[in-house]
Amino acid sequence: MPPANLDARRTLRHLMRARRATLPARQRLEAGNALAQQLALLPIVESAQTLAGYFACSGELPLHEVPGLCRARDLDYLLPVLGRGRGLRFARWQTGASLLSNRYGIPEPDVAEAELLAPEHLDIVLVPLLAFERGGMRLGSGGGFYDASFAMLQRVRRPARPWLCGVAYAFQEVDSAHPALQAQPWDVRLDAVLTDRETILCAQDPACTTG
């Protein structure tokens, strides 16, 4: 990646983390409520059996209403679990069930390894992010876990399952020309983005990509 793009990514990550940190708790909760309402209206939810979320940390938009939505729709709700490398697996979880902190201090379900699901077995995945643009490019925290875990989607016609839906506050949107959001070979585009204000269906190239 060109140094200018690396610098742009570092700067944008710092900016968005700082901006998220200033949000009052009430505003975060209201954003989470709004997101759950929009999620409930997505047609794909009607045919799904599994939905993976995340445990909100460091000012991320909270998903506190999503487990209840999944129970009401008879969906399995899952949370990501870190492996030894950059691959994620996912564990079913219900509110109040046991959690353990991973190596980054993020809570994960306390389940046996045999109960973990591989990424390709999911229907919908809610993906955290620091910035996004409407074409589906996402700037994450820099670990590369989601891109590595869902790299198989680079080789199929989109949209496909798992259906990747970014989750963000509206202020996290940036212009598609921003140097921090220029596509790299390892980037996996989102199918949609849910913000506290709207649902954005991202344009996808109907041709398969090679990564």
Active-site annotation holds for 74: no
Active-site annotation holds for 189: no
Give the DSSP letter string of 1-63: --HHHHHHHHHHHHHHHHHHHTS-HHHHHHHHHHHHHHHHT-HHHHH-SEEE-----TTPPP-
Active-site annotation holds for 110: no
Q: Which residue in the list 28, 161, 187, 191 is annotated as catalytic?
A: 187
Q: Which residue in the list 28, 89, 138, 158 is annotated as catalytic?
A: 138
Give the DSSP letter string of the chain: --HHHHHHHHHHHHHHHHHHHTS-HHHHHHHHHHHHHHHHT-HHHHH-SEEE-----TTPPP-TTHHHHHHHTTPEEEEEEE-SSS-EEEEE--TT--EEE-TTS-EEE---GGGPBPGGG-SEEEEE-SEE-TTS-EE--SS-HHHHHTGGGGGS-SS-SSEEEEE--GGGB--TT-GGG---TT----SEEE-SS-EEEPP--SSPP--
Q: Which residue in the list 76, 147, 191, 196 is annotated as catalytic?
A: 147
Q: Which residues are the active-site residues? A: 138, 147, 187
